[in-house]
Chain A
Amino acid sequence: MNTSQWAQLFAIIRLEIWKTFFSRRSLWIYLFTLAPVLLFTANSIYAPREQARLARIAEKHQVALANLTAITRGMTNSVVLEQLGEPYQQHTWRHPIEGGRVNERGFYRYTDGKSDFTFHFNNGRVRGIERSDPETLPQNFLIFATIFRFYFLRLAVFFGCVGIFTNLFRGEMLDKSLHFYLLTPVRREILLAGKYLAGLLAAMVIFTASAALQWEALLWQFDHQTVADYFADPSSAHLLSYLGVTVLACAAYGSIFLCAGLLFRNPIVPAAIILLWESANLFLPATLQKLGVIYYLQSLCPLAAAPDSNMPVPLTRLISATTPASASMALVVLILFTLGVLVFSGVRSRKLEINYSTD
């Protein structure tokens, strides 16, 4: 590329990036991206307040943790009261059942100042125990990893890239303004590269900022020492890995949806098919899993999160446990795949025509 072509490339990026960030079409992408940040922020506000509340309660209703854990299912409520004393909160309700009998249900809540215990009674006996422990950093990182894999990558980044990259060409066609680009002395490949890089920059800024903010929001509730202790172990510093995976996801999905915007009148159809394929990845045989972008992205994620611990057993049987690809392999495959799709798009862009009436 000569100097003039570089200048053209930067001019395209400058115009496109401005449009991508400030178009009305981008609004839902911001909402989609901000959702997990809001979730982590809300949790970081709620969790310390909940801890403070439990501590205040414990000042009046202090119960030792050993006593709380000694309660088992089947004990009567009188035994519970005998061992733990009066709960800080209780509720009982009765409702009639067959034969004129009455079913009595209720719960008692106790705390040692840190954990919150709820004992559920049925006709005077403990039928269920709920325990809510204070949040820990590793536990929160696991939640982050799960949200990152199952919401952020599969939905937020995926649909964000659909919105950003399909609009680069298809949006211009719908607005009937693509011809202005084609009436300039710019090679189609450079136009494509400029638009792709602008989309990639915008997507990277939006999604890496979201991932970083989620991380920050997650850490917010923990004191400085807890965080410092956790990160004293270098293997715990995952943020850069997550940001890297986000960038690679934007690059790979971006290339796919840029190409879809070039090839298809309605890119939502191929986007839906790809979403289906990527979503089904967990349930595919090991060999087929390797044909999905998500497989390589997940292989690069530092924390392995279970698909869903509450998932019904029959469904978990359907999940294929596949060995993740090595980091270098995943990186090479994602980069080569992205370049391949871009080269194909470049070739197709040479045949691009303006025919708005049929577009």
Chain B
Amino acid sequence: MTDSANITLDNVSRFYGEVLGVNRVTLSIPPGITSLVGPNGSGKTTLMNLMTGLVRPTYGEIRIRGIAPSEPQKLFHLVGYSTQFDSFPKGLTGFQFIQSFLRFFGYSSATSLELAGRAIAQVGLTEAADRKIAAYSKGMRQRIKLAQAIAHDPQVLVLDEPLNGLDPLIRAETIALFRRWADEGRHVVVSSHVLHEVDLISDRVILLTGGYVVAEGQIHGVRTEIQEHPMEVLIRCDQPGALASRVFEQEHVVSVQILPDGSGLLVQTRDADRFYRQLNHLALDNIQIESVAPADDNVNSVYQYLIGGEEVSK
């Protein structure tokens, strides 16, 4: 994938006076779903605002599929951004809001009406489209923001906490929508504080803390890179005691713990790949293995290991 097809940030820093927004961020984000994860004030929103030109970098350069954020006339045919700001131009209905801003894209009245209707239908707000936004619930406001971001069918979607305030059904539908866009080759950059959802939807994650990127890539790759925390593997089997004694003989295994219900064991190893290769040999002599699965190869564990006790952002 060439850089002109990616979102690239080259040594980007942003300071608010003496306060650090983000520092020396270098990224190349390919299409697919990328999640920004980090505690409050870690720089997630600043990074999104930088990508969309709402703030300018103090240093460094940003390109969204080859276009600089300082060229809004080109950028926003390509990019849709649903911000965290829960405010709207006053006095407009949901439909008027979407349609008015679509006119800014140069669409004719008929086209903007059609696109607005389609975007509103996509987020399931058709019935409430003619009501004033001021009367919307938080979830509806979240959805109308999403509709505004997607109405012009952008190839790059930047979504700040897009699942906030959505009920479970709409949440699932929205996640499915993200997946579909990603499968179509679009960029979907989301920030979220719900780590198990990030795990479910993300092709890759970018972990931020204190304005720095502490890790980025596919979850498994990031997890493998964290050497100081051995990988945990959960094995369900019929003879956990026998398997435990064999497993513990391996020099890369740090600890073995039989599960309290006796249904298996939890292994900590410094070399997960080697462990998986050896497991078939270790499990001879009629030990029936039901399942083998990584126990901490997820965003939550990665987050805990890299960012530790800091509170996840809301």
Contacts and interface: CB of A to CB of B under 8 A. Distances in A.
A175 B134 CA distance: 13
B131 interface: no
Report the contact-size class of chain A (Cβ under 8 Å from the partner).
Answer: 20 to 34
Given A8-B106, A12-B104, A186 B89 contact: no
A23 to B, nearest CB: 7
Interface in B71-109: 72-77, 79-81, 83, 85, 87-91, 100-101, 103-106
26 contacts: A11-B100, A14-B103, A15-B100, A15-B103, A19-B91, A22-B91, A23-B91, A177-B87, A177-B89, A179-B54, A179-B83, A181-B104, A182-B72, A183-B79, A183-B81, A185-B75, A185-B77, A185-B105, A186-B104, A187-B73, A351-B56, A353-B54, A353-B56, A354-B54, A354-B55, A355-B55
Interface residues of B, number: 31
B8 interface: no
Q: What 5 A-B pairs are tightest by C-beta distance, nearest first?
A: A11-B103, A176-B87, A184-B104, A4-B106, A185-B76
Contacts of B87: 175-177
B85 A179 contact: yes
A153 to B, nearest CB: 30
B217 interface: no
B88 A183 contact: no
B90 A19 contact: yes
Interface string B40-63: 000000000100111110000000
Contacts of A238: none
Contacts, number: 85
A179 B16 CA distance: 18
B54 A188 contact: no
Interface string A1-38: 00010011001101100010011000000000000000
A123 B247 CA distance: 126
A61 B160 CA distance: 85
B103 A176 contact: no
Nearest to A355: B55
Interface string A295-324: 000000000000000000000000000000
A354 B91 CA distance: 22
A180 interface: yes
Interface of B: 16, 49, 52-56, 70, 72-77, 79-81, 83, 85, 87-91, 100-101, 103-106, 148
Nearest to A4: B106
Interface of A: 4, 7-8, 11-12, 14-15, 19, 22-23, 172, 175-177, 179-188, 350-351, 353-356, 358
A12 B89 CA distance: 13
B115 to A, nearest CB: 13
Contacts of A188: 72
A14 B96 CA distance: 12
A181, A184, A186, most chain B CB atoms within 10 A:
A184
B64 to A, nearest CB: 13
A355 B81 CA distance: 16
Nearest to A9: B104
B110 to A, nearest CB: 13
A187 B83 contact: no
Contacts of B76: 183-186
A180 B72 CA distance: 12
Nearest to B158: A183
B277 to A, nearest CB: 50
A4 B103 CA distance: 10
A184 B90 contact: no
A180 B82 CA distance: 9
Given A182-B53, A354-B54, A7 B103 contact: yes
Contacts of A183: 52, 54, 72, 76, 79-81, 83
Contacts of A181: 104
Contacts of B16: 355, 358
Given A14-B103, A180-B148, A353 B72 contact: no
Contact of B73 (A7, A186, A356): A186
Contact of B72 (A22, A175, A184): A184
A145 B95 CA distance: 48
A333 B77 CA distance: 40
A169 to B, nearest CB: 13
Contacts of A12: 104
Contacts of B53: 182
